[in-house]
Structures are given as structure tokens and as C-alpha cells.
Amino acid sequence: MIRLQKFLADAGIASRRAGEQMILAGRVAVNGQIVHQLGAKVDPLHDDVAVDGSHVKARKKIYVAINKPRGLVCSRNDELARPTIYELLPKEWRHLHSVGRLDFNSEGLLFLTNDGELSLRLTHPRYGVRKKYVATVEGRIESESLGRLTAGVWHDGEKLKAERVRLISAGHSQSVVELELAEGKYREVRRMFEAMGRTVKHLQRVQIGKIKLGELRPGKWRTLTETEIKSLM
């Protein structure tokens, strides 16, 4: 059983808040009876829900993993007319929303879904779902200096912190660093290195929770398995 307003949101009728207004306005019926209480619950498989007399069906939940290439934005429409990740998906999946974002020049693992609960669990700091990144950074970085990232650095008045950091390689011209983050703030990895006076040349997200990018090629997608979905929830 789930709350009626959540059922309406999952069905794509309205946001939860807008669904609450529909209920209070007497526009929603369950099994032929108008419902006015916000605490009302329904069984998505057996109850008959109608809005303004039109029957509403629960929408099948879709979970997609995609390997976002560089040079794409995560918005459905871009004001600069840049290509978007939605051009990589079947047309019938254009309604899905990205779970978090990767910026235009970043690449790697990204989820898309119509499940708002999963999106919240993966993006809200209180759940602390870890994301792993591999950053190629200009110049040689000494492993001792990476402790600053786990202690926390300040950038534009905001403290940014990695849960774990590992130096993969360090050369004269560039270094490769693996980071695990639990919050996913805007351009967090790039800003962390900027705070250290470094520039990220290449950034790839390789893991979210227990799910790894693996052998998924750039620009390709796959649906998540039931086991993977459960691990994220």
C-alpha cells in the first residue's frame, strides 16, 4: 500500500504536492469513492484510481544506466542547443529524468529513471550513497597532499570533502586520482582540485553505490537488474 499522492506522482499525473491539491479539491476517486484525506492509501495492483473521472494506471518503473560521453548535457533541452543524453535513448524513454548530473565535459556512469524515490535516495546527502570518480589532473600530485581532500577544502564559501582518495599514478605532466564522494555537490571534483590550484583534464564517474560502469561503452545504455535496483534502495 502507498499513499494516494505518491501513486499519482508515480503515474506521472502530478507532483506529490500537486497531487495533494487534487485530492483536497475532490478530483480523485478510489474504487468509485471521492477521497479527501491526504493520508489515504491505495494498492497500485488492485485499487481503481480515477482523476476527474479518467482512470489512472500505475506507470511501469524504468531504471537505466548509461555511459555518458563528453560533450553532452543532462537536460532534455539546452538553451545553447548542445546535444543531450536523451538523444542516446529510445524515444519512449524521453520522459525519464537523470539521477544527478554529469557536466558537459565529464563522462561515465549515469542513471535515468521515473522512480522519484530512487532519485531521492541516490541524491540526498542523508543517505550517503557513494559515487566513485577517476580524475586526470594537470601536474604531479604527491600522495601526501591528497589528505587535504579527505579533511575537506573550501571553494566559494562551501566545504567540499571526499570520503576516500587514492593516487593511481603521478607523472611530471599529469596525475590520476580516484575519489569516493558521498554528497555529489555541483562540479564537486573539479572544484576540489581547483581549491588545490589544480585543473582536472579528464573526469569519469565509474561507480554509484555497488554498481560499476564496467564494460558499458560510451554512448551506450542498459537497464538495471532487479538485484542492482534493490542494492540501491
The verdict on 138 and 203 lying in the same domain is yes
H or E segment to which residue 208 belongs: strand 200-208
The verdict on 152 and 197 lying in the same domain is yes
Residue 189 in 3-state DSSP?
Answer: helix
Burial class of residue 138 in the structure, from the number of CB atoms within 10 Å of its CB (0-12 exposed, 13-18 middle, 19+ buried)? middle
Best CA proximity match to 134, nearest among 86, 74, 75, 193: 193
Helices (H), the chain: 4-10, 16-24, 116-123, 147-151, 188-195, 226-232
**Residue written as grid cell 570533502:** 161
Give the model's pLDDT for residue 114. 86
Residue 131 in 3-state DSSP?
Answer: strand
The verdict on 204 and 217 lying in the same domain is no
Q: CATH code at 84? A: 3.30.70.580
The verdict on 187 and 72 lying in the same domain is no
Residue 150 contacts residue 164 (beta carbons within 8 Å): yes
In a domain, 119, yes or no: no
Q: CATH code at 16? A: 3.10.290.10
DSSP 10: H
In a domain, 122, yes or no: no
Residue 196 contacts residue 138 (beta carbons within 8 Å): no
In a domain, 27, yes or no: yes
In a domain, 125, yes or no: no
In a domain, 121, yes or no: no
The verdict on 29 and 16 lying in the same domain is yes
pTM: 0.79
pLDDT in tens, the chain (233 residues): 888 988 888 777 877 888 899 999 999 999 999 999 888 999 887 889 999 999 988 778 899 999 999 999 998 887 888 999 999 999 888 888 899 899 999 999 999 998 877 888 888 888 889 999 999 999 999 888 899 999 999 999 999 999 999 999 999 999 999 999 998 788 999 999 999 999 999 999 999 999 999 999 999 999 999 999 999 88
Q: Can you read off the three cell numbers belonging to residue 38?
A: 491526504
> Hey, which residues are catalytic here?
103
Provide the domain count of the chain.
3
**Residue written as grid cell 508515480:** 10
In a domain, 107, yes or no: yes
The verdict on 188 and 226 lying in the same domain is no
The verdict on 186 and 164 lying in the same domain is yes
Give the model's pLDDT for residue 217. 96
Strand 107-113 to strand 97-99: parallel, antiparallel, or no bridges (unpaired)?
Answer: antiparallel
Residue 61 in 3-state DSSP?
Answer: coil
The verdict on 155 and 182 lying in the same domain is yes
In a domain, 150, yes or no: yes
CA torsion through residues 149, 159, 182, 199, sign: negative
Q: Which domain holds residue 96?
A: 63-114+211-232
Q: CATH code at 134? A: 3.30.2350.10
The verdict on 204 and 159 lying in the same domain is yes
How many beta carbons lie within 10 A of that of residue 14, not counting itself? 15
The verdict on 154 and 204 lying in the same domain is yes
The verdict on 183 and 144 lying in the same domain is yes
The verdict on 109 and 216 lying in the same domain is yes
Residue 181 contacts residue 188 (beta carbons within 8 Å): yes
In a domain, 86, yes or no: yes
For residues 87-126, one letter each, b for 16 or more C-beta atoms within 10 angstroms of the residue's C-beta and e for the rest, the string is ebeeeebeebebbebbeeebbbbbbbbbbeebbebbeeee
